[in-house]
Amino acid sequence: MGLQVLIVDDSSLTRRVIEKTLRMTKIQIDGIRHAANGREALVELRSSPCDLVFSDINMPEMNGIEFLDAKNADPKLSGIPVVVISTDSSEGRAEQLKARHVTAFVGKPFTPEMVEKVMSNALEARV
């Protein structure tokens, strides 16, 4: 049985690039859903199960940090692993993400091999 993945990014082009990259990996994925910001992501997660989230940080309406805080505060969602894909890799940002139990960070630009390794590690840690 394949994974259900949610991609959260305010750029529809970036969401499509991430989806294409995910489909290039050897990991079986049954469904990929999209959200344009953290608020939409919470709606998606509450409406249908998800195995893994890929999220940007810098988004309008509800950014990635606010999304992580809301997701982690919800007992039904807190166990879903989140991989952050972002250009923002400052030391301060890394500390913010670590404090919010982000599973992994992938910098842009990324390769299918990088994403596959991060996905495998995230799914192993979940079990």
pTM of the model: 0.92
Instruction: Give the model's pLDDT for residue 125.
Output: 67
Written as tens digits, the pLDDT of the chain (127 aa) is 689 999 999 999 999 999 999 999 999 999 999 999 999 999 999 999 899 999 999 999 999 999 999 999 999 999 999 999 988 766 777 788 888 889 888 888 889 999 999 988 887 766 5
Picking from 121, 120, 112, 123, the residue whose alpha carbon sits closest to that of residue 25 is 112
Picking from 3, 4, 14, the residue whose alpha carbon sits closest to that of residue 37 is 14
